[in-house]
Structure 1
Amino acid sequence: MQHFCRAIVEVFAEQYLRSPTANDVARLLYIGKQRGFLGILESLDCMHWRWKNCPTAWARQYAGRSGSPTIILEAVADYDLWICHAYFGMSGTNNDINVLEFSSLFFNLAQGITPPAHYTIGSKEYDTGYYLADSIYPKWSTIVQTIHDPRGPKKQYFAMKQESCGKDVERAFGVLQSRYAIVASPARGWKKNYLNDIMKACIIMHNMIIEDERDLSAPIEKMLGKHRLQW
């Protein structure tokens, strides 16, 4: 099992855990426009994986909100649940901001490095896309959050649409766990690097399935509906 997961990561990570290419970005921008969000790339969130066999000396350090040791996966997923960014290994005592600060995604966003995107809203042109996230994340131009306590029909409508699109990554977590019982169940490994290979191997195989089933000619409503049923 360990050798299998390591081989999957070494052979396929470059292709199936890649950053969005120019063609990927063009498709994401087009789909985002159909959904009412010009410039949207993907959504960002974290998932906790319970670590059943966490070494006793580390148990307090990794104890999450549930009281049990957990390891955090930070992921970015798009509308069809493709996971293009996966940062795994932070202890469960951290919140989403702490995880973001240590991930490669944070470094790139802080440096203004995002996948190439060009779009126009009104008469203003933009060259960087953005991610949807919940309210705990920092207020950056590249991270769009929902409106806390929206008042008035416009703000309520925006909050409803943003929260709906922002659930893409949560749906990706749900589908990932439904496909791989090893991710849905508490982790039984003793070593973090072993668990890292398991998580990334499952994400890579998940993306392989997404690529195989992807129908780029299908209407956006059909694609979203299919993944809601899977979840």
Structure 2
Amino acid sequence: MTHANMMNNYFNPNSVYTKEDFRHCFRIGRHVFERLLHDVHQVNPYFRQKLDRADRLGFSPHQKVTIALRMIAYASLADSIDDTYGMPESTCLDTLAEFRDTIVQLYKEEYLCEPNDQEDLDWLICKAEYRGFPSMIGSLDYMHWQ
């Protein structure tokens, strides 16, 4: 039932919430969510829906990715997710760990690298200045930003 409600609210073609609502709720666009969902589903069998010990369908890939993203986006505690999504605390924590490991495995080379030369540093400084954070690299606390 939780899966059906979530699909009806956010993912079906005539969903209850708009793209803007989705972005506000998940802190990413729907297309980014769908890419993450597809990628983790393909790489890690944990994110595939399986039968549980009582021969009932377990949590869906959408539910698992949603749980992980909500915990990351809002620094939510696993027991608060339990109340909202009906996923036990231990499963929430397992899901978050699996998501983290899979994301690192998938995107480490492309997105999770340290700046290694002056060109990378210049690019970061330019991007930060464009977004209104001049001298960002030199300040750890951003206190000089107005």
- Give the number of the structure whose residues are more often strand, by fraction: 1
TM-score normalized by the length of structure 2: 0.29
TM-score (norm 1): 0.21
